[in-house]
Amino acid sequence: MELFKPLNLDKVIQNKEIENVENIKCLIIGSGPAGYTAAIYASRANLKPLLYTGLEMGGQLTTTTEVDNYPGYPAGVTGPVMMEDFKKQAERFGAEIRFGIVTDVDFSGKKYKVTIDDKKIIIADAVIIATGATAKYLGLESETKYAGMGVSACATCDGFFYKGKDVAVVGGGDTAAEEATYLAGLCRKVYLIVRRNELRASKVMQDKVIATKNIEILWEHQTIDLFGENGVEGVTLIKKKGTTNEEIVKIKIDGFFLAIGHKPNTDVFKKYIETDKVGYIKTVPGTSKTNIAGVFAAGDVQDPHYRQAITAAGSGCMAAIDAERYLSELK
């Protein structure tokens, strides 16, 4: 009697490979408002969606406290609670939600091959990309220390909390100009911290900033640190760094807004999916369609303009409907 059968390694490897390959109809990448909304619509349309959450389960809103501008929550809601609600609603209709990061894609065939965590392969008939965009920070320790306590990367989201107060915006591009102008309508005073002696923003936006009385531009200033006992109370700046006129300047503020750009999370798709020069996925206007039929994009990853939870959710709905129509035409 043969007690120990020699192991057939080829077979083991083959089986392991088979186990690691899964064929599905609809894959959703990302677990922010766009991804979960796509999952709600796709599961209700019987697409049996599989959603991979990425590292940040629930997306950007899990890094904030109060969300006061999302309809349906009259008393407001915290970001983490809201995203848990989104997840539960998607699961209620059968969406499968798994933790995992997309590490590679191959969109060259009729079916789309997506690698998860460098080891698992998903073969999908349709893919919805909802990987968001990440705000850039200066990299100061105090930005982390005061996160949610005076530091924000979204004036539309948090400006309201600084009504009648003094704030600073860092950056010199269109976003900074737009955020400073928006905040000027709410706050007593807005400092615009610009590292060079000119703005990068378009002429029309520059004119708007300059014409706004309660915006003061601090030219050639760079941020060194933030200070405060219970949240941001001020910012330390260096003026004309590296010149003989170099000077340390401290200003009192209640809120510090970053507006130095966003990085769309698209590196892994760039080989196949067309993006603009910043990296945002280009979609056919009024739809979620990308340059590849069957691959759709929703949320901040394709939206350089609005970047709000409600717009992300709306475009997640569009992507699921576009995917459903695409799949029904494939049959």
Catalytically annotated residues? 154, 157-158
Q: What is the 3-state secondary structure (H, E, C) of 269-294?
A: HCCCCCECCCCCECCCCCCCECCCCC
Categorise residue 143: left if φ over 0, alpha if ψ from -120 to 50, beta otherwise.
Answer: alpha
Cβ–Cβ < 8 Å for 53, 97: yes
Q: Which of 33, 172, 228, 234 binds ligand FAD (CB under 6 A)?
A: 33
Site for ligand NAP in 32-71 (CB under 6 A): none
Q: Which of 69, 197, 202, 328 binds ligand FAD (CB under 6 A)?
A: 69
Q: Residue 266 interacts with ligand FAD (CB under 6 A)?
A: no
Q: Binds 81, which of ligand FAD, ligand NAP, none (CB < 5 to 8 A, cut-off by type)? A: none
Name the residue with the smallest CB distance to ligand NAP: 173
Q: Binds 131, which of ligand NAP, ligand FAD, none (CB < 5 to 8 A, cut-off by type)? A: ligand FAD
Q: How deeply is 165 buried, as exposed, middle or buried, from its count of CB atoms within 10 A (0-12, 13-18, 19+)?
A: middle
Amino acid type, 161: F
Q: Point out which span in 2-10, 24-32, 200-208, 274-282 binds ligand FAD (CB under 6 A).
A: 24-32
Q: Which of 41, 308, 319, 323 binds ligand FAD (CB under 6 A)?
A: 308
Cβ–Cβ < 8 Å for 36, 79: no
Count of CB atoms situated within 10 Å of the CB of 178? 20
Torsion of CA 69, 188, 230, 134, to 10 degrees: 50
Q: Binds 235, which of ligand FAD, ligand NAP, none (CB < 5 to 8 A, cut-off by type)? A: none
Cβ–Cβ < 8 Å for 65, 121: no
Q: Point out which span in 167-175, 236-244, 312-320, 323-331 binds ligand NAP (CB under 6 A).
A: 167-175
Q: How deeply is 311 buried, as exposed, middle or buried, from its count of CB atoms within 10 A (0-12, 13-18, 19+)?
A: middle
Tell me the site size for ligand NAP, rule CB under 6 A.
16
Cβ neighbours for 247, distance < 8 A, ≥ 6 positions apart = 238, 239, 240
Q: Which of 56, 178, 220, 303 binds ligand NAP (CB under 6 A)?
A: 178
Residues lying near ligand NAP in the complex (CB under 6 A) are found at 138, 170-176, 178, 195-196, 200, 260-261, 278, 304
**Residues at the interface with ligand FAD (CB under 6 A):** 29-35, 52-56, 59-61, 63-64, 67, 69-70, 101-102, 130-132, 135, 153-154, 157, 265, 268, 299-301, 307-310, 312
